[in-house]
A and B are shown apart, each in its own frame.
Chain A
Amino acid sequence: MLQTLGLNSIKVVTVNLGTGEVRKEEIRDGAFLKKYIGGLGIATYFLMKRYGPFVEDSPVILAPGLLTGTNVPSSGRMSVVFKSPVTGRFFKANVGGYFGNQLKRSGVDVLIVEGKADRPVYIYTHDNEVEIRDASDLWGKDVRETNAILRKELGDDDIQVACIGPAGENEVMFASLQISIYNSAARGGIGALFGSKKLKAIVARGRLPVEVANPEKFKETVGTVTEKLFNTPGVRVISDFGTSPESDALNLITACHFRNFQDNYAPEEVLKTLTGNYLVNSGLLKRRIGCYSCPIGCHRFVTIEDGPYKGTYTGGPEYETIANFGTLKISPEAVVKAAEMCSTLGLDTISTGSTIQWLFESRQKGAVPDEMSDGLDLTWGNEETVITLIRKIAYRDGIGRILSEGTRKASEKLGAGSYKWAIQSRGLEQSAVDTRFAMGYALAFAVNPRGPDHLHTECLAEFGGDSESERIIKHITGSEEFAYAFTTDKRAEIVRWHEDIYAVSDCMGMCAFSTTAQFWMSEEDLAELFSAATGIEISSNGIMEAGRRIITLQRLYNVMLGLTREDDILPYRFMNEVKTVTIKDTSPIAKHIPEKKEDFPKIYRDKDGTIHITSINSKEVLDKMKDEYYRLHEWDLKTGWPNVKTLRNLGLDEFIPIALNNVKLPEGGEQ
């Protein structure tokens, strides 16, 4: 009889690579599901509950979203949770593609891989069976080759492969886990963790049909959200042009740095090549790629037919790839080549690009001695050097040995004050957003358990400039006048709302482009989908509270590892170097900018109306927002730690004794 897969029970499979043991369990507990929802929430729970913050050899926990496998648009994403080898703290990577769907439909809601193998292995999960297999023939192969060999070996073109490339095998600190070839669970050193376990790949083949508890209600809600997706103007833009916006928008949101955030903007001729429009108009874009169940297709497929990079073909490049490589002053074709190399070697494009940016600036400032540079010309714009460096990083060759540790460690090794232009904090390189001109992002990046990165909050709405963003900001703060990113006012509220809904989106497998950055799905929609899918009623408040619970649990994990308020910071450059940007007063985001401002941030207008904004993410600026943020969370203001009372209120009682054994959490309640 053909079995179906319900969404109200959680099938957990634990594979121990050391002993070869495979353990299966099924959790049928509505109260637990309501608390942790699925995906990220359940994976976070298991990391904390079973392994704790002091685990030496972190497990890898893969968990597709609750709704993954259904027809909810953009619900196909999977979370990968672990203790990061680079930050030493809690980490969540998240990825689209088809893998999450097949993993779930092979009969696995949560896959925990613990221990280390003594030889290269891969895990094969299919039809309720999970096995460990020899991967000796795959070790040393790149991501494209690994996919091809596994398809041949298993005689099935429809398998899904999550694997590491040479960078992961060599335990590069920003090695990625690639899904098929072009989707990437990129950050936090997940690839290095796979490498240390001698785990080359996980292969999933899932064929079990997915069933929801209340099909009628589910159909109705899916109809509503699908219609909203179709009618959201921003969705059309990311479908047509991808994640990199057009150059006016890049400038408007001042997200685009140049030469490692030294310059305000890229020169006009470079800037226009950094846009999504350029990929389309130049003919580089051949097709659009959607993740499982996502009809938007914001991912790109590009090929190069002539010139020095002839024969290059790859998924992407995404905004972050373009913004981290294009701003090295290299050609867009070289950016595409870099994207292909990062996919096939298995590297995070943000940290790879940022690390090379750091090296170039170090050379520019005379900090890199000749004997260290492997004979390479380390000047801005030398694309041959960039291509060579990517390989050297993946294979830890020559100067690649230092770079492969990331900019925190590399700057410690190089010295010469190079930490000042290492665009990292807590070991993670910052996403390509100049947080001096986006105060919500500044706060979000500072308190993000991963490090300074956009994939925990993504409060794009704070920039305003369109009715959708204003609607969301009004929904959060009560007024659309706060859709204005150059102020610290209301940032704590904006950040917390985004964190809550982002966490639940990760639990349910939803892409950030449904609830944050694009807003066609609301708290109410998430609640209704949860209820209809599982048959367990939850309110929209319950949904947001679940998000807060998960964030607090992640916070607690890091607090037990020594994190305090002083660690909630940004890269040195943003906290210590003042920068000025200009905006035309005709710009849509100029609407809420005050006429003149003498204090922070300093604002004045030229006679022609050009607005100049001078800003910094100084300690004082961050402190003000952090106070408000901790207060909203009912965390202790002095330490930034969750209070015992707060943990109790969120139903995290079971973690209080173990937390108190390590940290003297305040009781709370009298603030």
Chain B
Amino acid sequence: MKKLIVNSEECVGCHLCELACSFKHYGVFSEELSSIRIKSEESLAINNTFVCRQCEDAPCIQVCPTGAITKDESTGAVKIDSQKCIMCKSCISVCPYGAIFEIKVPQTSRVELLTCDLCGGDPECVKVCYRGAIEYKDVEEKVRGE
């Protein structure tokens, strides 16, 4: 199964991936509405990426008391059903990668949880990453350099 593979050393910290993500999902530009987050330590030019890694045995799915979190069978993406979610935020605290975010939905008063849906298998963030710091590949493919 393909995953987002991030090489932070190649990340230039432009934050375009965040903008591509929020525009795709919410039609506006905001890093606070993105499911991939870049935290830049500018003095050292270090950019840390926070994005869902689709853990094999995902702690967020296990901890969710209402069964709101499931995995998409075709892409392996973790999905959060906001109808079932009771906003206990246990998933946020157990996520080892800091990849579940609480967001305010624009033009509403709604607050919900967000994580990467892999854009249904065609992730927008990958398309704008000029230096190829984000790739969407099967790990085997990546190793073979495909």
Contact = CB atoms under 8 A, between A and B. Distances in A.
Interface in A226-241: 226, 229-230, 235, 239
A288 B10 CA distance: 7
B131 A295 contact: yes
A8 interface: no
A669 interface: no
B42 A180 contact: yes
User: Which of B29, B43, B108 has the largest count of A CB atoms less than 10 A from its CB?
Assistant: B29
Given A71-B19, A294-B14, A287 B43 contact: no
A211 B27 contact: yes
Nearest to B32: A207
A292 interface: yes
Interface in B1-32: 9-10, 12-16, 19-20, 22-23, 26-30, 32
Interface in B104-146: 104-109, 127-131
Interface string B46-89: 10000000000000000000000000000000000000000000
B80 to A, nearest CB: 19
Contact of B30 (A1, A181, A207, A288): A207
A238 to B, nearest CB: 11
Given A2-B108, A289-B45, A293-B19, A210 B40 contact: no
B92 interface: no
Contacts of B33: 209
B45 A315 contact: yes
Contact of A71 (B20, B108, B109, B130): B20
B16 A293 contact: yes
Contacts of B14: 290-295, 297
A211 B30 CA distance: 9
A408 B20 CA distance: 48
B30 A209 contact: yes
User: Which of B14, B43, B104, B109 has the largest count of A CB atoms less than 10 A from its CB?
Assistant: B14
A491 to B, nearest CB: 33
Interface in A279-303: 286-297, 299, 301
A144 B42 CA distance: 11
A239 B23 contact: no
B131 A1 contact: no
Nearest to B129: A295
A301 B45 contact: yes
A293 B15 contact: yes
A210 B29 contact: yes
Given A73-B16, A147-B43, A295 B130 contact: yes
B106 A4 contact: yes
Contacts of A73: 16, 128, 130
A45 interface: no
Given A98-B40, A181-B43, A230-B130, A2 B107 contact: yes
User: Which of B15, B46, B127 has the largest count of A CB atoms less than 10 A from its CB?
Assistant: B15
B135 to A, nearest CB: 14
A216 to B, nearest CB: 10
B42 A181 contact: yes
A209 B19 CA distance: 10
Nearest to B20: A71
A419 B39 CA distance: 49
Contact of A70 (B19, B32, B46, B130): B19
A294 B15 CA distance: 8
Contact of B23 (A71, A229, A315): A71
A289 B46 CA distance: 9
Interface string A203-224: 0000111110001000100000
Nearest to B27: A215
Interface string A140-168: 00001001000000000110000000000
Nearest to A286: B45
Nearest to A297: B12
Nearest to B108: A1
A290 B13 contact: yes
A71 B128 contact: yes
Contacts of B45: 286-289, 301, 315
A313 interface: yes
Contact of B15 (A157, A229, A292): A292
Contacts of B127: 226
B109 A4 contact: no
Nearest to A211: B28
Nearest to A148: B43
A182 interface: yes
B20 to A, nearest CB: 6
Interface string A87-128: 000000000001000000100000000000000000000000
A440 interface: no
9 contacts: A2-B105, A209-B26, A219-B23, A239-B131, A290-B12, A294-B16, A295-B130, A295-B131, A301-B45
Interface of A: 1-2, 4, 69-71, 73, 98, 105, 144, 147, 157-158, 180-182, 207-211, 215, 219, 226, 229-230, 235, 239, 286-297, 299, 301, 313, 315
Given A71-B128, A207-B30, A297-B130, 16 more contacts: A2-B104, A4-B28, A4-B106, A4-B107, A71-B29, A180-B43, A210-B28, A215-B27, A229-B130, A235-B130, A287-B45, A288-B45, A289-B13, A290-B13, A293-B15, A295-B129
